[in-house]
Amino acid sequence: MSFTAPSGQEAAIGKIGERNIMKAFILDKYKKKSLLRLGDMPEPTLRDNEVLVEIHAAGVNPLDSKIRDGEFKLILHYRLPFVLGHDLAGVVRKVGSKVRHFEPGDEVYARPRDGRIGAFAEFIAVHEDDLALKPANLTMEEAASAPLVSLTAWQALVERAGLKEGQKILIHAGSGGVGSFAIQLAKHLGATVATTTSTANVELVKKLGADVVIDYRQEDFEKVLSGYDVVLNSLGTDILHKSLGVLKPGGKLISISGPPDPDFAKEQGSYWLLRQVIRPMSLSIRRKAKKHGVSYSFLFMRANGAQLAEIASLFETGVVRPVIDRVFPFEETNTALAYIETGRSKGKTVIRIR
């Protein structure tokens, strides 16, 4: 089955009244492991500072499953029904009146900002500041695999950790989407990299540049590693707490899987009552971190086109490369979501839309 639209600035499948329509996978209600509905949606309304992108490929992330399951409905306020999808690569078809840096025909990639997601569709309106030109040496599928995980790694290692040459970092789940990019970025920054992975993925993470590989089926990382400057955690609470012992005094424990901390609530502009709900979620780990003389912070990555432009140069010069496990056709979007929920994917899973 194919949903390819005619190319061109006015590309569309049909019309609802005067608005173009498109095919999309739609979330009608929050429910754990529910199926998205393939249906018609109006083509996104283009604001003055936005770009209409014809999507060629979309990345699939655990964040999509968590939003579908309702885990973020108190923090991310979406009006049902809406379209999921946080990674995309495609071609610019229209630009808003205030857009200055893109024009129709540009090949781009992006992680659209919260509130304007929707990559599991044929078109999307993306704020100009969230876009970057696609790395010239990557296919659409390769480019679509990169935005969310590369921005997460960049904001964790460069911004939050300030990782420097000669420092040591432990990156959990090195064969996953974030982990596979973070290993490469950390090596580029000059750090010594340790990672955890399963037996089947030991060779993969070594090829990505990991200096120390802990096969979690054979060893306990907290008994092997010590004196680390940074830990990047993407796993459960037990791994998070064990990671404290790996860090040296002044070290930084950064988690992208939670629990959220008070600073995150402030960054999100959460109302007072929600901030009080979020605060105790991380109280235990923050107290333990303080006793160890280290810091704990939760990172929820944000859209940033300027950072994606810097990351594009890393792809084009061969410093980093995309790691893709499987590519699914558009009509198998629900199958792709189910696949990443198994936790066995190596790198990223991608949907080919056109």
- Is 37 a residue whose pLDDT tops 80? yes
Measured at the alpha carbon of residue 120, what is the angle toward residues 115 and 123, in degrees to the nearest 5?
Answer: 80
Q: How many Å apart are CA 96 and CA 98, to the nearest integer?
A: 6
Instruction: Round the average pLDDT of the chain to a whole number and report it.
Output: 92
Domains of the chain (ranges; CATH) run: 14-145+322-352 (3.90.180.10), 148-298 (3.40.50.720)
Q: Which of 271, 232, 274, 270 is nearest to 253 (CA)?
A: 232
Quick one: pLDDT at residue 267? 77
- Extract the tokens encoding 140: 């659409």
Quick one: pLDDT at residue 19? 66
Quick one: pLDDT at residue 18? 55
Q: Give the model confidence (pLDDT) of 187-227 as tens digits.
A: 999 999 999 999 999 999 999 999 999 999 999 999 999 99
Q: How many Å apart are CA 133 and CA 118, to the nearest integer?
A: 19
- Span of 19-23, 162-166, 290-294 with lowest mean pLDDT: 19-23
191-221 residues labelled b (16+ CB within 10 A) or e (exposed): bbbbbbbbeebbebbbebbbebbbeeeeeeb
Q: Which of 57, 127, 128, 49 is nearest to 87 (CA)?
A: 57
Percent of the chain with pLDDT over 90: 85
Segment 158-166 mean pLDDT = 98
Quick one: pLDDT at residue 303? 98
Q: Give the model confidence (pLDDT) of 122-135 as tens digits.
A: 999 999 999 999 99
Segment 157-185 mean pLDDT = 98
Contact 115, 78 (CB under 8 A): yes
Q: Give the model confidence (pLDDT) of 92-149 as tens digits.
A: 999 999 999 999 999 999 999 999 999 999 999 999 999 999 999 999 999 999 999 9
- Is 274 a residue whose pLDDT tops 80? no
Amino acid of residue 183:
I
pLDDT band at 12 (very low <50, low <70, confident <90, very high): very low
Torsion angle (degrees, nearest 10) of CA 117, 123, 128, 131:
80
Quick one: pLDDT at residue 77? 85
End-to-end C-alpha distance for the chain, whole angstroms: 11
Contact 62, 345 (CB under 8 A): no
- Is 284 a residue whose pLDDT tops 90? yes
